Chains A and B, each alone.
Chain A
């Protein structure tokens, strides 16, 4: 792939990226979420068309308009979310679209036989006649791999393959990948887990903010160097005013949550947030932070353990009650959860308060108060808008985020859970929101800050928890950890590795 550029609106997802893959090689592409890895692979698999750049296969220029072009050319992809038909059998899924037929009819026996052959040839153990939805996740992934092999793929892309697997399954997967490479297949592994990279890759490409920033042979690099390349060195200069934290506003003890696949998404998470304190949760996204926040805020109620907000036990309570106990929440996705794009700014500013005495009387809204409140928030947070009657979708991302932040912070509750509060917004808005969070701290509020931006965590937090694979691995006080060490721990490194820094 040469000089691939792909933009989505104003976001440059891939900026002039070139990639080369040798036969029988395992190439790892690493980078944080949003670094552009997935986009690059979508281009390779024909799911997205690049704005510029070319793709060559065996020195021949090819054009990939859709995934079936890619498949015909021998490019297969094992997606993070499996593309399988649950109620159909393993065999049916694998041969789908290229069934062996006899007199125009699907020949069950021949197809099953073919799958069995493939399965033993590559050592990928599956039951050809089991229904896919009854198979464990690891086996489903093997079905995906067999699907690409059945289509004679020479190049197989693995997109975050270990995200859904248990540790045992990950080990098997690593063995499988090595075996495939030994048999002459060329593999690309997309991941942000560096221990896997070090275990399996021959060569590593590091992406950051849409650009290819480094390329290393595995033998000549280390997890530590890679994490540094991936996250980058960021200098943090922001003195926090010393202040004594007050009482506990958030108490989480032994929080454990399973998932459908039987994997533990959260295991035994315990943490505290006190008044007048910002507590950061550092971690590459997808390591349980989202689920932790869902449990704490009441959006998810199927968990074990205890959650107390401002001293009140709200374990497994509904959102309304958790909020009433004193929780406000900036959700990680402003349009998916944080607002209604088609609703007006005033309507968006009201959410959560529509039943309070301030804004309603016997169920009837006090429209004047609602309007004044919205105008107040817009003004105080310098939201660039012509009127509160505008629709949310007319605002830029940064301004939408400001309004959501305003709504939650100005409620003046003891606890604020802020998730990725500055993701994808401009520097000005980011600074503004940071200042508001610090102001909240100064006014005696407790903030739980969940962010995959290490800079943000280091800049604002009094205390930092590191999450990795559903567990809280470490806890640091402000100043007792630096970006290198944190970066390594976030990507699954161990303390003794870090101690050597």
Chain B
């Protein structure tokens, strides 16, 4: 007689923000095998980038790959094209781009924390964190002029400049967020019911993180020191107070704490950026047409985002390849599920912060 049962989770499920299907093979309540299907929201973005849009317009197309890390996508593409055009941005442009990417990281991490709390059964905390997240959304809306589709970065610079009122707003919102994050850290550390759902659950060991090529907060929670911000020199991260955040236990609690501490670090970096903003033009001319091949890696909120852009000296690109962090992390995710209880699956899944529209694009 068969000893295992198959329980599907998704493609539509109460704990999911986006469609993904898991098929768990369970022995009683324990998960012993996982099968994942991620391609429910495929939109053909890569092909559209090479068939329907000219290279100057593609930056706005790839920003629509993901609603959360729109800035990171358009930044990666822009960097790749600027490499092909042989253009390097001045310091002010770099700082403004960094500011938006770090704000993006803060609000994306907060969404993940809220969602993890919700999936652990703490609905009120979900509301609270989502409410606090509005502080950052307001800043981004004021800087870029739109709440979700920022369209802030374009080839040769950024589209808008910071005014003194905006700088005051950023300072004000960051300091009130900073207090709230401190309170959240205490809550995540000491709350008894959250500890039951988080501590020692969904463990990814350091060896597994190496073997399955984990990345982003998932890897850093397991103690694997990998961060594109420390590995590349496109942006002056070191000078602005970047710190590698590592935890050692590799469970959901550790992943939450990596995110919380990264938010604190990002707030500090945002402050440094606006305090030391260099002067200069925000939009420069980047002339020519992309010829050759460029590879760019940028640290998105969920890990390494990889862009390959190939052009042949014409307006239309030959190839745009996007490898998103969630896609690369799927093997590690599947490994974490094995051996845990089925009832913990939603909380574990939320703690990975999977982005399906990025992955299927």
Are A and B physically bound partners?
A: no
A: residues with CB less than 8 A from B are none
